[in-house]
Every structure is written in C-alpha cells, then in structure tokens.
C-alpha cells in the first residue's frame, strides 16, 4: 500500500467493501441508541407521519379542497409522505453525521463515506415502520392497491440515491462550514412546500410541470403515487426523465465533492 | 550428502530470515503542512465569513486595484508539522517515537494510519495496519460492554467472525465479564480502558500503531498491556510503533527509538542512547521554565504558566546539596475549578526511570492546597537527605483524575544533587558508583541478637 501526497487512494472502493460490516455496525449502533432510554422510541416513527398526514389531509383535502385523483386523500398524502420523510430525515441526519462522529474521524481510518451512508440505513428502518402504518391505513379505507405497487422498490432505490447524493454533499460542506447546519432545516422546510407532499402534482399547471420536476423529490412522490394507484395521470414522463438525470448528477457531484473533501476531514473537524 | 543438505537448509533458512527482516514501512521525504490562520478566533470556517470576505474583497478590488488585502495573506501562517521525514522500519521492529509536545509525533502516526494525508512525500506500507490513537474510539456510553466490543472491533477493521472467535479471549483479557451486559457509561474509567484496550490488543494486523494508551489504567494493567505488546512483536513477529512520554515503558518495550523535534528526525538509535540524549539536551537546566499565556501548556480550563525549582531562600536554583529541601513550584492559571483536577510531577533519573510521582492532593484532605479561579502558585518540598547524587528531571503532569490527561509532559527541567548529608566515614565518600540507587536515605540498623538469646 502506498500513501502519497494528493493522490487519490486506489484502494478506496475495495476498502469500502472491506469495511462493509462497519456500515451495518454504525447503523445498528444508531438504532440501538435511539431506542434505548427513550419512552416513545418506536412510536415516534409512527406518530410523526400519522399526525402530519392528518394535518395535511385536513388543510389540503378538506379546507383547500384540492383534488386527490380518485383515491382517499389521506392515502395520497401518506404515499407522498413516505419518500419525503425518508429523504428529509436522511438529509438532515447525514448533514450532522460527520460532526457527531468527529472523534472517530480524527482517530481511525476508514472510508468516510460509511458515516453519512449508514444514516440512510437507519432511516430505512423508520421507513419500514411507516410503511407498516401505511398498510394499516389502506386496510382502514378498504383500499386495494394496483399491481404496480410491485415497482415501489424501484422508486425506493431512487429516493435512496437522491438521499445519498445530497447527503454526501451536505455532510462534507458541513465539516468545512459549520454554520451550514442552520441552513439545513430551512432547506428541509422549504422542500416540504415545494414538493407535492400535501397535494397532487396535477394541480401544477402543465407548462410549469417540467420545471417543477427539476426537484427530483416531486417525481419520486409522483412515482410512489403511481405505483400505489396504477393511475397513469400521476406520472409526467419528461419530468420523470429530467428528475432522473438530476438525481444522477447529484449523486455524481455529491460523491466527487465528498471524495475531494475527505482528505482534509481529519484536519478540519 | 550432509553438506548439501546443510547448504539447502541454510539457503532456505537465510531466505526465510530475509523475508522476516523485510522492510514493512518505508517513508520518503514525508512532510505535512498545516495552515494556521491567525485571522479568526473560531476553530472553523463559517460560510458567513467566507461570503463576507468574498464580498469585501470584491468591493475592495472595485475601489482600489491591487489592494487585495495584503495583510490578509500575512496573517496566514504555514506550519510544517512534519518536515522531510525518511525512515525504514523492518518487520518485528518495536519502534518508540519520542519528542516534546508539538514535535510531530501524533501527526506522524496520523499520516501513517491514513487519517490525514501528507502534503509531500510518500510512504510504502506492507501489510495490514491498525492504529490505536486512543482506546475505545467509537465506544458508545449507552451500549453494553458486549455491544461495544463488536462495534469497536468493526471500527478497528475486524470482521464479525473474527470478533466472535476472539470474543472470549477479549473478555478474559479485560476482566470485566461480570459487567458485559451493563452499559459502559456505568463502568469505572479503569474498566472502560481495560475493555477498550482488550479489543485493540486482539487485532490481527501486521503493524500496530499505539499512541499513549498506556497512560491510563492502573499499574498492573499497564504492565499487562506492555507485556501483551511485547508478545505481539516478539512472538508473532509483528511490528509495533509506540508513542509515549513514559520513558520507562519505551525502554522496556522498544528495540529502537526515533526522536522527533519540530517535525524532523533528530535521532534514530538504540533506546538507552536516544533517551539519555533527549532527557539531557531537551531540558532546561537553569531551574525554571516560563510560558507565555497563549502558548502555555494545558487546556481551556487550566494552564501551566511556570515551573520553578527553588532553594530554601526562595531563589531559583538547579544545584542542590542533599541536606537541603528542594521546592518545586507551579504557577497555574485556572479558569474552571474541577474537583477531579490533579496536579503534580514525576521525578526521573538520567535513565528515564521514574523515582516518584507526587500530586497536590496525595495527602489528607485538610492539607490539600485550595485551588481557586485565576492565578495560583502551589508548591511542594522534596525533603532533604533523600536523593542520591545525580541529575534529576521534573516532568509536570496535570489530569482529571482517571479521566483524561491535560498535560502529560516529558522532562522539562533538571537539577543536580550533590551529597553532603551523613556523618559516617563509610557513607561520607559516596558517589553513585560505590553506592547505586537514586535514593540516599540513611536507614539505621540494630542488633537484636541479645533478645533472642
């Protein structure tokens, strides 16, 4: 093995594979710690989406009377909230992940990407719990999903990719500029309003639809809704492709930026 | 026939030796630069500052050309933590690395262990390397001992199967089996360190890098750790790099010592020689050391401003007669009084062997010097008729008891002792060759034969 100045480590990706267990151990630690010494613990993953769903259904469905596209409004909101919740918590957690694990960064070598990536795994557990609630909700409404629900894992992979891409980027930026952590909650809140979580993206006028899809989360939410209902009018294909390209760009630049910054993490943290 | 046979054996053996003695770490012109920015007080850059600075320089360059704040550049200072370091380490070597605080020891270890990247130069490493810059990295206080063993093992690069296989051995070494299912936040600091070291000691890497982990834990456990490290290198042929301020541990463990100063290698030789030179040349022998407040050793809560060696008339002195008391005085600035604060020093001899360690709260509680916020001057007196002839060294030690070191320095100043106590003609002509040892206590003898008869 050769360590040389400013030359990227050739073994990086094989190291990442070698340290794959650490990836799960970190996730496992975070999950264990979260549920030890908490009263609500598990319930929190249920209460949060459930209450948000109720509020959104009342505000957008009842008060604003927005269309739901033939399904119960609550189910539509919840289908949008699943990917949004996953993305926003991953984004938030990975932005802080390197700082909270700073003692590890300065004392031990391992591919740093594991840290933000493992927070995404942790959120996967939350996602599963929220999904269980979603199944309950469908039973309550006697709603039978379409066969297209089988494509849901694909859209889930998509939201994982965008979460990682943006997560790598904010995690690295946050190490360098510590006040970035004040920006993150704002971005998350802002994102909630510009993404079609509480409403269907069909309320967006058609001429703005492509621009609207520059936000990949919008297309992912559309995809989730399509997968559940099988109703094609949720999908806007040009927007879908644009979102995919943007997601891949995020992933590429997030990864590259992370790799470039990674060398100096230990000196900055 | 036998000669042929012998020859083949020799060739095989020689080859094997060659293989065993191969170079495992080769460093060429290794340098590491840090930029110290005097401009900002905060430890980290904020986006706000960057934007403000960019905007400022933008407007400045609009107004006056070529005035892109020259003082801005002047305030950024380059600091070479490592400067052109080249060395080779063979397999099975036990190399000690010593030097003052800030000499570049930790930076060297960090570069070797890939935590940070060198600015220049190249290192070639053969084999798996694992480093213990701190024991218990990644330990989580909420998790149990068992869970932490797995977590810490994974962080150190062990596989699950490997940890599982060694689990019993680790638990056995640490001696905490009763508390395996207790969260480690309930552990005593000794247990915590023992468990952490136990995990680290069972790593299967070819090269082990250790930084001062032995500075904590009780004496028995320290011996156990040293023994383990000796086993690791001698019996298993693994290479150990060991940074410590404990000269005795270095002497016991290492086969070779590298002395660093200001980022360069000063000496690379046998332990006894390097340690003797280090202790001799690196200490102040005028009886006192002073620091400026911003460069004083310590942390945010306590700073050591000066150490003085004083005689009975309160004059700074470095030469004493054994009859007189020696006063060691610390000037401290305390920002935060902590009940766990322990201040003291080691007295070592020329070989680096510690003769004694004393702390300000060793005595009865009523006799402890009260520490208050602000400047404190505390002292103790080494009694007369106690030390033998020779040169002695003072290494200040400040810590939060059993929690962490605030200052764990190498010898900083020295004093000589000349013998003038004792009236016996047999005692009077003493020098160190005819009366070995560091202590020169006169111990009375008696004859009890009559009582038994």
Binning pLDDT at 50, 70 and 90, where does residue B73 land? Answer: very low
pLDDT at B217: 60
Q: Which residues pair with B26 in a beta bridge?
A: B88, B124
Mean per-residue pLDDT for B401-420?
85
**Is B46 in contact with A177 (Cβ distance < 8 A)?**
yes
Number of C-beta neighbours around residue A219 at 10 A? 29
User: What are the tens digits of pLDDT across the range B101-153?
Assistant: 778 888 898 888 888 888 888 888 888 887 777 777 778 888 899 999 998 88
A 157-186 residues with CB below 8 A of B?
Answer: 176-180, 183
Does the structure show a pLDDT above 60 at A121? yes
Residues of A in contact with B50 (CB under 8 A): 177
Chain pair A-B, CB pairs under 8 angstroms: 111
**Is B115 in contact with A106 (Cβ distance < 8 A)?**
yes
Torsion of CA A150, A155, A156, A158, to 10 degrees: 150
Instruction: Tell whether A6 is within 8 A of chain B (Cβ).
Output: yes
Instruction: Tell whether B150 is within 8 A of chain A (Cβ).
Output: yes
Name the residue facing A178 among B46, B121, B123 (closest C-beta). B46
Name the residue facing A5 among B45, B121, B155 (closest C-beta). B121
**Is B123 in contact with A3 (Cβ distance < 8 A)?**
yes
Does the structure show a pLDDT above 60 at B64? no
Mean per-residue pLDDT for A39-65?
79
User: What are the tens digits of pLDDT across the range B242-266?
Assistant: 888 777 778 888 889 999 888 899 8
Does the structure show a pLDDT above 90 at A83? yes
Q: How many residues does chain B have?
A: 453
pLDDT at B433: 65
A209: exposed, middle or buried (C-beta count within 10 Å: 0-12, 13-18, 19+)? middle
> Which two tokens mark B154?
């994974």
Does the structure show a pLDDT above 80 at A10? no
Contact B368, B331 (CB under 8 A): no
Binning pLDDT at 50, 70 and 90, where does residue B47 land? Answer: confident
Instruction: Tell whether B110 is within 8 A of chain A (Cβ).
Output: yes
Q: What is the CATH number of domain B288-428?
A: 2.70.50.60
List all residues 6 or more positions away from B315 whose beta carbon is below 8 Å from its beta carbon.
Answer: none
Mean per-residue pLDDT for B72-82?
69
Instruction: Tell whether A268 is within 8 A of chain B (Cβ).
Output: yes
Q: What is the CATH number of domain B88-281?
A: 3.40.50.300
Number of C-beta neighbours around residue B150 at 10 A? 20
Q: Which of A68-72, A261-265, B393-397 has the lowest mean pLDDT?
A: A68-72
Report which of residues B48 and A151 the model is more confident about: A151
Alpha-carbon span A24 to B155, nearest angstrom: 11
Buried b (16+ CB within 10 A) or exposed e, A188-202: beebbeebbbbbbbb
Does the structure show a pLDDT above 60 at B2? no
Number of C-beta neighbours around residue A144 at 10 A? 7
Q: What percent of chain A has pLDDT over 90?
A: 22
Closest listed residue to residue B229, CA positions, set B257, B274, B212: B212
Residue A142 lies in a domain: yes
- Give the count of alpha carbons within 13 A of B342, CB side only: 18
Instruction: Tell whether B151 is within 8 A of chain A (Cβ).
Output: yes
Instruction: Give the residue on B whose Cα is nearest the Cα of A25.
Output: B151
Report which of residues A244 and B194 the model is more confident about: A244
Instruction: Tell whether A263 is within 8 A of chain B (Cβ).
Output: yes
Name the residue facing B134 among A19, A28, A107 (closest C-beta). A107
Q: How many residues does chain A have?
A: 269
Buried b (16+ CB within 10 A) or exposed e, A31-68: eebbeeeeeeeeeebbebbbebbeebbeebbeeeebeb
Mean per-residue pLDDT for B74-101?
83
DSSP state of B319: E
Contact B7, B65 (CB under 8 A): no
B53: exposed, middle or buried (C-beta count within 10 Å: 0-12, 13-18, 19+)? middle
Residues of B in contact with A170 (CB under 8 A): none
Phi, psi of A20 (to 5 degrees): -60, -30
Mean pLDDT of chain B: 81
Work out the angle at residue B47's Cα, subtended by the Cα atoms of residues B41 and B49, and round it to the nearest 5 degrees.
Answer: 45
Instruction: Give the residue on A whose Cα is nearest the Cα of B126.
Output: A1
- Interface-testing mutation among B117, B129, B153, with chain A (most A C-beta atoms within 10 A): B117
Binning pLDDT at 50, 70 and 90, where does residue A246 land? Answer: very high
**Is B45 in contact with A18 (Cβ distance < 8 A)?**
no
Closest listed residue to residue B140, CA positions, set B130, B154, B151: B151
Residues of A in contact with B110 (CB under 8 A): 106, 266
Distance of CA B174 to the CA centre of its chain: 22
Mean per-residue pLDDT for A71-87?
88
**Is A263 in contact with B117 (Cβ distance < 8 A)?**
yes
Which sign, positive or negative, has the C-alpha torsion B429, B433, B434, B435?
positive
pLDDT at A39: 65
Mean per-residue pLDDT for B294-300?
83
Distance from CA of A110 to the nearest CA of B (A): 8
Contact B310, B324 (CB under 8 A): no
Which sign, positive or negative, has the C-alpha torsion B417, B423, B426, B429?
positive
Alpha-carbon span A221 to A200, nearest angstrom: 9
pLDDT at B342: 92
Which sign, positive or negative, has the C-alpha torsion B283, B284, B288, B293?
negative
Domain layout of chain B by residue ranges = 88-281, 288-428
pLDDT at B185: 87
Instruction: Tell whether B147 is within 8 A of chain A (Cβ).
Output: yes
Binning pLDDT at 50, 70 and 90, where does residue B40 land? Answer: very low
Instruction: Tell whether B56 is within 8 A of chain A (Cβ).
Output: no
pLDDT at A148: 85
Domain total in chain A: 1
Binning pLDDT at 50, 70 and 90, where does residue B213 land? Answer: low
Name the residue facing B119 among A5, A9, A33 (closest C-beta). A5
- Interface-testing mutation among A1, A2, A5, with chain B (most B C-beta atoms within 10 A): A5
pLDDT at B66: 45
Distance of CA A268 to the CA centre of its chain: 27
Contact B375, B331 (CB under 8 A): yes
> Which two tokens mark A173?
């930026």
Instruction: Tell whether A2 is within 8 A of chain B (Cβ).
Output: yes
pLDDT at B343: 93
Closest listed residue to residue B372, CA positions, set B343, B403, B332: B332
Q: What percent of chain B has pLDDT over 90?
A: 16
Does the structure show a pLDDT above 90 at A157? yes
User: What are the tens digits of pLDDT across the range A89-107?
Assistant: 999 999 989 988 888 888 8
**Is A263 in contact with B126 (Cβ distance < 8 A)?**
no
Residue A1 lies in a domain: no
User: A157: domain range?
Assistant: 12-268
Alpha-carbon span B154 to B152, nearest angstrom: 5
Does the structure show a pLDDT above 60 at B200? yes
């Amino acid at each position: 093995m050769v360590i040389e100045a400013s030359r990227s480590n050739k073994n990086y990706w094989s190291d990442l594979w070698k340290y794959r267990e650490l990836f799960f151990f970190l996730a496992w630690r975070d999950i264990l710690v979260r549920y030890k010494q908490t009263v609500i613990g598990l319930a929190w993953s249920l209460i949060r989406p459930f209450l948000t769903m109720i509020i959104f259904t009342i505000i957008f469905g009842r008060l604003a009377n927005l269309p739901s596209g033939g399904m119960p409004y609550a189910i539509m909101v919840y289908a949008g909230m699943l990917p949004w919740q996953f993305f926003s918590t991953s984004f938030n957690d990975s932005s802080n992940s390197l700082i909270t694990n700073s003692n590890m960064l300065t004392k031990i070598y391992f591919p740093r990407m594991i840290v933000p990536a493992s927070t995404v795994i942790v959120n996967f557990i939350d996602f599963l719990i929220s999904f269980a609630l979603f199944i309950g909700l469908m039973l309550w409404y006697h709603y039978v999903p379409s066969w297209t629900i089988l494509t849901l894992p694909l859209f889930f992979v998509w939201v994982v990719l965008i979460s990682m891409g943006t997560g790598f980027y904010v995690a690295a930026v946050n190490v360098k500029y510590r006040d970035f952590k004040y920006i993150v909650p704002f971005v998350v809140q802002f994102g909630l309003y510009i993404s079609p979580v509480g409403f269907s993206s069909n309320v967006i006028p058609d001429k703005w639809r492509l621009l609207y899809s520059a936000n990949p989360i919008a297309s992912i939410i559309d995809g989730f809704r399509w997968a559940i209902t099988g109703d094609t009018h949720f999908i806007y294909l040009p927007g879908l492709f644009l979102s995919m390209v943007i997601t891949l760009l995020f992933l590429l630049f997030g990864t590259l930026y992370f790799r470039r910054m990674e060398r100096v993490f230990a000196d900055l943290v | 026939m036998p000669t042929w046979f012998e020859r083949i054996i020799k060739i095989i053996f020689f080859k094997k030796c060659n293989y065993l003695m191969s170079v495992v770490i080769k460093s060429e012109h290794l340098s590491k630069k840090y930029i110290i920015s005097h401009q900002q007080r905060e430890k980290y850059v904020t986006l706000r500052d960057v934007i403000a600075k960019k905007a400022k320089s933008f407007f400045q360059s609009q107004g006056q050309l070529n005035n892109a704040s020259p003082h801005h550049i002047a305030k950024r200072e380059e600091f070479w933590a490592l400067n052109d370091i080249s060395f080779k380490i063979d397999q099975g070597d036990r190399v000690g690395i010593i030097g003052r605080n800030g000499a570049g020891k930790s930076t060297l270890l960090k570069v070797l262990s890939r935590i940070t990247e060198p600015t220049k130069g190249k290192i070639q490493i053969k084999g798996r390397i694992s480093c213990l810059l701190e024991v218990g990295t990644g330990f989580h206080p909420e998790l149990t001992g068992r869970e932490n063993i797995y977590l810490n093992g994974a962080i150190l690069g062990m596989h699950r199967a490997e940890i599982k296989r060694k689990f019993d051995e680790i638990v056995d070494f640490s001696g905490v089996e009763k508390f395996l299912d207790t969260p480690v936040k309930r552990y005593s600091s000794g247990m915590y360190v023992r468990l952490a070291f136990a995990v680290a000691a069972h790593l299967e890497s070819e090269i082990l890098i250790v930084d001062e982990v032995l500075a904590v834990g009780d004496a028995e456990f320290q011996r156990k750790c040293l023994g383990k490290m000796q086993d690791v290198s001698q019996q298993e042929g693994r290479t150990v790099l060991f940074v410590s301020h404990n000269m005795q541990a270095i002497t016991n463990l290492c086969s070779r010592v590298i002395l660093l100063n200001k980022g360069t290698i000063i000496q690379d030789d046998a332990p006894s020689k390097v340690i003797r030179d280090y202790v001799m040349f690196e200490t102040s022998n005028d009886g006192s050391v002073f620091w400026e407040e911003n460069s004083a050793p310590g942390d945010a809560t306590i700073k050591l401003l000066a150490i003085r060696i004083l005689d009975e008339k309160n004059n700074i002195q470095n030469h004493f007669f054994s009859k007189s008391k020696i006063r060691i005085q610390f000037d401290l600035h305390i920002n935060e009084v902590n009940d766990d604060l322990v201040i003291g020093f080691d007295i070592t001899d020329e070989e680096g062997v510690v003769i004694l360690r004393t702390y300000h709260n060793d005595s009865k509680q009523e006799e402890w010097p009260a520490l208050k916020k602000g400047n404190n001057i505390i002292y103790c007196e080494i009694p007369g008729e106690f030390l033998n002839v020779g040169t002695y060294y003072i290494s200040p030690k400040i810590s939060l008891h059993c929690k962490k070191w605030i200052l764990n320095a190498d010898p900083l100043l020295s004093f000589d002792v000349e013998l003038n106590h004792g009236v016996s003609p047999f005692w009077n002509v003493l020098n160190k060759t005819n009366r070995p040892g560091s202590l020169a206590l006169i111990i009375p003898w008696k004859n009890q034969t009559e009582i038994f008869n």
